[in-house]
Structure 1
Amino acid sequence: MKILTPRVLQALERFNAAHPWDHNAHYHPWLLRQLPRRFGRALDVGCGSGDLVRLLAGRADEVEGIDSDPGIVARARESTGDRYSHVTFSVADAPDGLPPGPYDVITCVAVLHHLPLAETLTRFRQQLAPGGTLVVVGLAREETFVDFLLGYASVPLNAATGWVKHRGRTAPRPASMTAVTRPADATFAEIGREARSLLPGARLRRRLLWRYTLVWAAPGAR
């Protein structure tokens, strides 16, 4: 399937490298809209440089960000400073190393494809308080016509957004984009089947910019 020629794709990739921006942060406002105005404890899994943790801190009584990379956790602590006394960062591996819950909110952005899917979703379910909310922004392997169509549509959109954000100037990669990444193995359909089996009522949706979203509310009163 060739909507854009290889030459055009290569040109866009060079352009994007000169005007990088954080696709995950693009979804932070949407993610916050899935959450209550106020909540108790929150956990951000794969917190990176801590951007989402600091946003959650404006609504939560307590927020913990975890990441398996000690260097990026140190950067998150440095960027946060002592502005939030109710925010902590720690080095931990998911899913086995998750801090003990329960949590009213668990978020996981562009990390789930690095982890064992069923085991991680099960652990999230166990750590979520009754009535709590899980929000995932993830990556899936392209398989269907719709997947490829959204992927190709995202290429020029990515370039245009980078140009607008940087006003046409070249820019370095944001700190939040310096983590090691790898392609997703599971398709959107595979993720959906697993999620709906383990998290009944989970809402999944394909998105632009090579992402999908998953929202699940744990049974029980908040």
Structure 2
Amino acid sequence: MSDAAPPRPWNHNVHYHRLVLREVPPHARTALDVGTGDGLLAADLRRCVPHVVGLDLDAAVLARARAAAPQGAWVRGDALRAPFAAASFDVVTSIATLHHLPDPADALRALARLTAPGGVLVVVGCAASSEPVDAAWDTIGVVQHQVLSRTRTFWEHTAPTVWPPPHTFAQVRDAARDALPGVRWRRLPLWRYALVWRRPADERVSSA
């Protein structure tokens, strides 16, 4: 009988967990994963942040996350009206959730409101291609998917999906720059983008 650990599940979202984890500040004590789905990113965050909350609106997928990790903190709620006080979390993350929401700028402002001074908001999202540069990224994504899906254990998540995304990469980029002054934006392969925003340590957050 083999004692080898089962292979780690992989998909386009799991692929970017390491990108998210690299942005976690050393002082972080609390984290919120918005649109947590099956809870895999929340589980990874728990390895470096003492208290992690997974938030999702879908009751069924949240129940599966809770069953897989009963020791975790799981909350059912809407990302735009999350039941937490302003500036509650040192880290706020979200993967493949923003395109489920009607207005990217409103969604990003809601997530930024939950981010504590000195904390970080990290979003990895999906969007639609619309510009010539997107075609190059899409080609890279196809090649990367073909290679990685042959060398990884591909896993299909159980959370609800929205496809195609309703907003283009350009629209989300512009919304992020409007909602989050100083945001870092990156286009990624595998049909994703990443944005990282840090709230200044001396900035006060309104509770309104």
Query: Which TM-score tier does this pair reach, normalised by the shorter chain?
Result: 0.7 to 0.9
Structure with more helix by fraction: 1
Deviates more, 1:45-54 or 1:31-40: 31-40
The unaligned stretches of length 5 or more in structure 2 are 1-8, 204-208
**Cross-structure match for 1:7:** none
**Cross-structure match for 1:113:** 99
Aligned-partner Cα distance in 2 for 1:154–1:41? 33
Deviation at 1:24, TM superposition (A): 0.5
Deviation at 1:91, TM superposition (A): 1.3
1:157 to 141, 144, 150: 144
The unaligned stretches of length 5 or more in structure 1 are 1-19
2:37 to 34, 48, 56: 48
Give the root-mean-square deviation of aligned CA atoms.
1.9
**Cross-structure match for 1:210:** 191
Deviation at 1:144, TM superposition (A): 1.1
Q: TM-score, structure 1 length as denominator? A: 0.80
**Cross-structure match for 2:84:** 99
Aligned-partner Cα distance in 1 for 2:144–2:109? 35
Deviation at 1:207, TM superposition (A): 0.4
Aligned-partner Cα distance in 1 for 2:202–2:119? 8
CA contact (8 A) 1:128 1:134 kept: yes
CA contact (8 A) 2:25 2:119 kept: no
Bigger CA radius of gyration:
1
Which aligned pairs between 1:62-211 and structure 2 lie closer than 5 A? Answer: 62-82=51-71, 87-101=72-86, 102-115=88-101, 116-166=103-153, 173-174=155-156, 176=157, 178-211=159-192
CA contact (8 A) 1:66 1:90 kept: yes
Is residue 30 from structure 1 mapped to residue 19 from structure 2 by the alignment? yes
Deviation at 1:200, TM superposition (A): 0.7
Secondary structure at the aligned position of 2:166 is classed as: coil
**Cross-structure match for 1:15:** none
Deviates more, 1:105-114 or 1:56-65: 56-65
The one-letter amino acid of 2:119's match is G
Report the identity percentage: 37
Compared with structure 1, are the counterparts of its residues 178 and 92 closer, same or farther at alpha carbon in structure 2 (3 Å cutoff)? closer
Count residues in correspondence. Answer: 193
Runs of 4 or more, structure 1, over 4 Å off, are none
CA contact (8 A) 1:22 1:177 kept: no
Deviates more, 1:68-77 or 1:151-160: 151-160
